[in-house]
Structures are given as structure tokens and as C-alpha cells.
A and B are shown apart, each in its own frame.
Chain A
Amino acid sequence: MRCSWQTGLLAPQPCEMPAAGACGMCGRAVCMAHSVAGPNGTACPRCASANPGYEQNEETELESARSKYYTQYGGERYFTDRDRESVERERWEPYDEFET
């Protein structure tokens, strides 16, 4: 069995290290690095980020950020209409999009 946890955020890839066990909640096979101990036993980073009592680490934080990133601005209004008028987008000087 291999760890099936998807590492990364922008270019996700399965971890594929030898599995050390399975997540007690979703059954996913996870390696040592991707298992989190908590009140319901071993959990994968996703279940650990969704359930209270689990220690948070880099992986669980990335996991809880994922859905937030995708719907980051959905329905939220950061600005008022007056702000929008002051933006004056047309004023922007053109610049080369792909020049670095």
C-alpha cells in the first residue's frame, strides 16, 4: 500500500511513500508523514483539519486553505461603488505582460 495523500497546492501529486496505516475516518492510506494523531485515532490531513482535537501542521493548514482559495472572493464585497469609480482602470499604463 502506498500513501494516497495529494501533496502540494498548485501542482498536486500523490505522496506514494509506503503507507503506515489508514485514516480512521475516511480510510485513505497514509504514510507516517501524512498521518496525524488525535481523539479518533490516526487521521489524514484533510480529516484532521476538519475535526477538532487534531494537531495542526503544514499539511493540515494547506488542506484547510484549499477550499478557501477556490472560493476566496465568492459573494464577498470588499469595496463600495464609490471605490470602484476611483479605480479609473483606463488610466493604467500599458506594460508588457510577459516580460520578466
Chain B
Amino acid sequence: MKPTDLSPAARAAADRQAIRGSWDGPALERLLQELLAYDVVLDARVAFRLKVMIGTIVAAVVGFIAAVVMIAEEDGLLLLAVAALEALLVGATVWRWLQASKMALPERALLMLQQMFLQIRQDLDPAEQIRVNVDLTGPTKAKRGQKQKLPAGAFLAREQYVFTDPWCSVRFQLRDGCRLTLRQVDQVMEVRRTKRSLRGKTKVKVRYKKLCRLTATLLPPAPVRWKARPQVDAEWERLRVANKKGQEVAVLERWFLYKPHEGRPKENPTGADAVGLMYRLCAMREVAAR
């Protein structure tokens, strides 16, 4: 698959790193499928450019040493020119790699939406469009909060940044007239721990934690009598019936916590996690026995 194989809609979503507006079910399914395929292409491009960058850096170092050996005493200016050219080349490969990394799409997030819509496609009202507001840029600097000082403990210092990313909001109507909203807000905690090594140097180690809050809201077309509570995990889930403009809605939320051993967290709730919340909400209505 090449970037040029993308449909105009997928192209626009990939460039903007966002999915917005109103969509038909099948069109949204196709879009998510395309973006997932395109993400594989993007990942391969980042990996390739990283290799090129490392190769160029190695070649530059070797080339510079060779230049020193060959031309050092005769022409200092030529040596400077060689060094400048190499620095330019290395800079260009670094820049290209950074550009590619910035375009990456959050695979697990897209996968959640894709699997979810696949499983509920029969339930959607075909006459109604799905309203989508999905931000795929991830926890960028703009979403970063104030620096917080944490108790240092055994370290020289411990600081934390919290990124708040309310990236997902989708709303759709079911074929029985109920409206469902699914929202996800991520909090990424970046903890920087400063340590003194045995040689007396200070070292900063960065750890990440990701806390996702997935919220499903059910708005029935007419007032309903809620049936028995579905099974809810008391620790990690919260179920409430709220009032919106005189009408009762049911809201089920679940928190998910991910702690990768290293690097930025890539995990996300799955499509089954999202459908699971909505399924239990819908089971609260009084419906015909199956």
C-alpha cells in the first residue's frame, strides 16, 4: 500500500490526524480500515528513516576520521567544509525521521474504534449518521499540564507532567431509537526521576503511566423504567443514572491503567471493552425477551 492509494477521506484524516464530522456506518468502517492499513506503512517509514539516520551518522563519523587522516595538515578549510557537509546530511536525516514520527497514528486507538463498529454494525440505525470527533495526535506538548514536584524519596528529584487528552467522542443512534455516546479521555503521567550514578553524574529516568477513562452514555428515545443494574466492577467502574434536560440517561464508566516497562504507553482499551460497556448499558432497558 502506498500513501497515494488512500481515498480522499482517509488522506484528509491521516494528514489532519483527526476524524471529524458525520459518517455513514459503512463509510466509517472503510475509513478506519484504511487508516489501520496506512499506519503499517507509516510505521515502516519511521523504521526505515531511523535506519537511514543511524547509517548516515556512522558514515559521517567514519568519513570525518578518514578526512582527518587524509587531508588534515594540508587544508584546514577543506576539513571544515567536509564536516559542515556531513553535519548537514545528518541533520537532514534526523529531520526526515522526526517528520515521519510526527505523522504516526495511534494504532490501538484506531483498532478499538474499528472493532467496535464492526461488532455493532447491525444495531446502528442506517438512516442516521455517526457523529465523530476523534483526535489522533496523541499526548502532544499542547496537552501537557504544569510541572508537579513529587516527594523525592530515594532520588535527587522526582517531577511529574500530566497530559490530558480527551481524544475520542462518537455518537450514534441505534435502530430502536436509543442514542449512544462513547467518550475516552486519556491521562498520560510522565514521571522524571533524577538519580546520581556511582560516578557522580546525574541521570534522568523517565517512566510513563497511562490512565484511560472510557464513558458510555445511553439516551433512550422516551422515558424508560430501568431494569436491574448490570454487573459492575465496584473498583474500576461507575454506573449512574443522570438527568439531561428532564430525561434520564444511563452512564457507565470504566478506568483502564497501563504501565509499560519502558517508553511511551501504546496500549488502549479494546473494541470488546467498549462494546462491553455499551452492552451492559443497553441491557438495563426493558426490552422484549430474547
Chain A interface (Cβ within 8 Å of chain B)? 6-13, 62, 65-66, 68-74, 76-79, 83-84, 86-87, 89, 91-93, 95, 97-98, 100
Contact = CB atoms under 8 A, between A and B. Distances in A.
B119 A70 contact: no
Given A72-B231, A87-B211, A91-B187, 19 more contacts: A7-B122, A8-B120, A8-B175, A9-B120, A11-B282, A68-B276, A69-B272, A69-B275, A70-B231, A72-B272, A72-B280, A73-B237, A79-B257, A83-B259, A86-B257, A98-B244, A98-B249, A100-B131, A100-B133
B280 A69 contact: yes
A73 B236 contact: yes
Contacts of B257: 79, 83, 86-87
18 contacts: A8-B120, A9-B120, A9-B279, A10-B123, A10-B180, A11-B175, A12-B287, A69-B275, A70-B283, A72-B272, A73-B254, A95-B166, A97-B242, A97-B244, A98-B217, A100-B133, A100-B169, A100-B181
A10 B209 contact: no
A10 B279 contact: yes
Contacts of A77: 235
B56 interface: no
Contacts of B169: 100
A32 B131 CA distance: 34
A68 B280 CA distance: 11
A58 to B, nearest CB: 9
Q: For chain B, give the interface size range.
A: 35 or more
Interface in B34-93: none
Interface string B214-231: 010100000000000011
Interface string B165-204: 0100101001110101100010100000000000000000
A99 to B, nearest CB: 8
B158 interface: no
Contact of A12 (B119, B131, B233, B290): B290
Contacts of A71: 231
Given A13-B175, A69-B276, A79 B282 contact: no
